[in-house]
Amino acid sequence: MIAVHHRYATVQGRRLFYREAGPADAPAVVLLHGYPTSSFMFRHLIPALADRYHVIAPDHLGFGLSDAPPADEFDYTFDALTGLTAGLLDQLGVRRYAVYVQDYGAPIGWRLALADPEAVTAIITQNGNGYDAGFVPGFWQTVWDYHREQTPETERAIRTALSLDAIRWQYLTGVPDESLVSPDTWHHDHALVSRPGNDAIQLALFRDYATNPPLYKELHAYLRANQPPLLAVWGRGDEIFGPDGARAFSQDVPNAEIHLLDGGHFLLESAGDEVAGLIRDFLARATSAR
């Protein structure tokens, strides 16, 4: 059995939880989770990679077991979450790493790569968007309305994303066999985002998501210039970030490896073994090439 360590580190005065496994001198892989989950989403993937890689999976501030200072005491932005992630990696002595991004993890991963292109040895994007083509309007219109103006009506609409039914929808939509997805997932996530004051944290990040699409032009230039090894493994049934978001990476990285699998937004829950196999094969080639 692979030993997975559950640890805390204080970064910029904030206590961050992270999971860590694998040899410290092995190539590093950093796993960045999305909304509304935490490093809990990687509980099966970590041991599937850690025999060969040094795997690190933090909980973003406000998520999982990391600190969650009130929104009026901390400015919750993707820039701020990126700074904390960079600080954690620096504290752990991780200077070069492959990065796995999903959902919110993508804008954090893109900022890390843009700030230090030499640090990122490879990119794995699992329903982690980087192109306008990836947005599914049926889901995003509510978010875009909230970006345009914050009114009682737009806030009421976006607050539905915090509900148990909405989180369950994220896990089950597009999954061919829903019985493969444990109900523990959406109940776990809902319990954590339902903590007192966490709604204000999530609303702040919903608002700040408006800063992410403007970064795409810079991201695409980085991809064209650096041609990092890139694996896009995507749940084709995702109704948040659609398959066109995966295909788009080949515009800037012609050698990108793109796999559209039967599944949804949280692909690891129903196709974890297949995803892990693709990642292991990809990283074995990417790390040897670098």
147: helix, strand or coil: helix
The DSSP secondary-structure symbol of 246 reads: H
The DSSP secondary-structure symbol of 233 reads: E
144: helix, strand or coil: helix
Alpha carbons 95 and 24: distance in angstroms, whole number: 12
Contact 124, 56 (CB under 8 A): no
Alpha carbons 233 and 39: distance in angstroms, whole number: 18
Per the omega criterion (within 30 degrees of 0), is the bond before 36 cis? yes
Parallel/antiparallel/unpaired status of strands 230-235 and 14-21: unpaired
Alpha carbons 44 and 27: distance in angstroms, whole number: 19
44 is catalytic: no
Residue type, 92: L
DSSP codes, 68-114: ---TTTS---HHHHHHHHHHHHHHTT--SEEEEE-TTHHHHHHHHHH
The tokens 């009421």 sit on which residue? Answer: 156
Nearest CA among 29, 142, 191, 190 for reference residue 94: 29
Catalytic residue list: 265
